[in-house]
A and B are shown apart, each in its own frame.
Chain A
């Protein structure tokens, strides 16, 4: 009775949102105080953050995240709406069926990497898995092992965890990479010491897409009996992974890079020989005591479904994406020169194409490419203005380091999208080269490196 009175009173007083504003807010919600960016959508396109575009951009940023495959969403929904139990509830059907779903998802994830389901721990994502691996392993073995080896091109979470360990008194060696982005195996061999507790090398780089020689690295680690950790967030479901062949002890996996939901990942922890970690999340001892907290059943089910699909479709996707990558690269190279592919052209994942355009600055190019969702370097470094540390590690010249664009091609990318991306890129690059004094000097034959610049 009272609620009806309330509803009538409210309907009379609160104005209906006009068509120009579409703010997603419920009048009752206290989240009204949280400002949502005005997102104006009318017949003429979308305006947001000072930029007007004709419609939603083409999505070519698959390394940042990927759309959820509709089949994955279908698998997840029942666990939100009807089978919503907590998998750790022992006493009733809701808990049992939820637990069964999680275990079956676990088996699917492990099948994709040739591991046992007992070796998979669900976490909130690859960042958490990386943290557990690096800090957890070193804290557990801190009496005997004080040294970590990693590379300069790792993901920020790995580098930051290592920095944290350094503050605690551990020693870290950041291996340089060759100009093609691959680790120098000789340098790795010589850096291993008797007190090395962990080697961490990411399988597929998120910025430049190079695939590291994991089998060779695994052999070296086996020889010296050092655990190998790898961040396989970008590699899972895209290249074949076998933890036994590659002698991997710990592996971080991410759900939202393989058309699964965001907010879930996993950690592979080898059981034979057993690797131990100190848990980073304390609590009820879920996930074998390694990661306490309720396992989010729908997300785990989604992750499992995504892994199952990846296993079936990996080869087909790879073929298709390679064709699209060639189309993109050749399309751009036909029309403009001065295009450099960053990273090894041989040992790379086809869906990641990182290009540098000489004489054109990256941020201005991105500003003009608003109709294509691409990224300059990685999403985690795009907030700061420094040139990507990955490109710097490759030894790319400073002026080229500012100009990289990363195109991510995925399962749902179409040929039309690639063609349009080529068209827009070529147009913007040509326009910016018109504006560029460096291009002008290059055309006149002046060697840019010989000029003395007046620094600030």
Chain B
């Protein structure tokens, strides 16, 4: 009887989790993933290019009423069709800033056709965005597409 009781108590006691890392990784809801916080504290490629420049494509998406506006600019090398530089500015929550910052990182050095294949789900996965913030990654994808389209419009005229 005593052994039974002891085992039960010990059994309960030993249900302590092994390490904080194990607990942290397995689905306890975090407000912001470390990567989002990192992008927020150290955003990459903030800035502006001259939008009248021939090499620059500008994508401006979103609306202040929705609480999210993203401006993504790409500088393209005319001969190779590669994106040599990118920069962004965002009015939005931490996830929006992180999504657009990440987008500028990913488009650099790629060809324009390639970046059109970047999907919002990839951005969301990389940043571990919660479902409620998926629209931020969608906006980032739209911004990339808009920037590419703007560049192409300039060159088709």
Contacts and interface: CB of A to CB of B under 8 A. Distances in A.
Contacts, number: 134
Contacts of A20: 20
Interface residues of B, number: 52
Contacts of A33: 15
Interface residues of A, number: 48
A447 interface: no
A50 interface: yes
A364 interface: yes
A50 B34 contact: yes
A21 interface: yes
A456 B138 contact: yes
Interface of A: 2, 5-6, 9-10, 13-15, 20-21, 23, 25, 27-28, 30, 32-33, 35, 37-38, 40, 49-51, 359-361, 363-364, 367-368, 385, 387, 398-399, 402, 434-440, 448, 453-456
Contact of A436 (B15, B33, B90): B90
Interface string B60-102: 1111111111110000000000000000011111101100000
B91 A437 contact: yes
A243 B62 CA distance: 50
A21 B20 CA distance: 7
Contact of A361 (B36, B92, B139): B92
Contact of A32 (B15, B48, B62, B70): B15
B10 A10 contact: yes
B32 A49 contact: yes
B71 A6 contact: no
Contacts of A35: 23, 28
Interface string B19-36: 110011000101111101
9 contacts: A6-B5, A10-B9, A21-B20, A38-B23, A364-B93, A367-B40, A440-B89, A454-B63, A456-B62
Contacts of A51: 31-32, 37
B43 interface: yes
Contact of A437 (B34, B66, B69, B132): B69
A398 B93 contact: no
Contact of B31 (A23, A50, A448, A454): A50
